[in-house]
Amino acid sequence: AQSVTQPDIHITVSEGASLELRCNYSYGATPYLFWYVQSPGQGLQLLLKYFSGDTLVQGIKGFEAEFKRSQSSFNLRKPSVHWSDAAEYFCAVGARTGRRALTFGSGTRLQVQP
């Protein structure tokens, strides 16, 4: 069965500082990988996804993530955090064939200090 681990429950960074959110997955093969962001009381917005090809993927809002097969990781990064980035971030994996439901990690809550 596939699973996703986000080791950091809560992260606080200063505005303008760099950010890295960790994500590790367990899957029998190479899955599809996603990062979503959720503001309080809202649905999920897709930040970026990895299907194949270049292991460094660019997303919206200045985010990027790197797929490292050897480490089963898909960490999310941003060079300079803005106050509006404060939210909950979810890493998710999905199968390449068959059922397309996603499995989510437990989430990382990002707080941005002025």
Partner 1 sequence: GAVVSQHPSRVICKSGTSVKIECRSLDFQATTMFWYRQFPKQSLMLMATSNEGSKATYEQGVEKDKFLINHASLTLSTLTVTSAHPEDSSFYICSASPGTVNSGANVLTFGAGSRLTVL
**Distance separating the N- and C-terminal Cα atoms of the chain:** 41
Amino acid at 87: A
How far apart CA 54 and CA 3 sit, in angstroms, is 23
- Binders of partner 1 among 69-98, rule CB under 8 A? 90, 94-98
- Binders of partner 1 among 6-65, rule CB under 8 A? 32, 34, 36, 41-46, 49, 51
- Separation in Å, CA 82 to CA 3, 20, 41, 110, 114: 30, 14, 20, 11, 9
Q: Which is nearer to partner 1, 40 or 114 (CB)?
A: 40
Using CB under 8 A, pick the residue from 59, 89, 105, 112 that binds partner 1: 105
Beta bridge partners of residue 32, listed in sequence order: 94
Both structure tokens of 101: 């439901």
Q: Which is nearer to partner 1, 45 or 71 (CB)?
A: 45
Q: How many residues bind partner 1 (CB under 8 A)?
A: 27
Binding site for partner 1 (CB under 8 A): 32, 34, 36, 41-46, 49, 51, 90, 94-107, 109
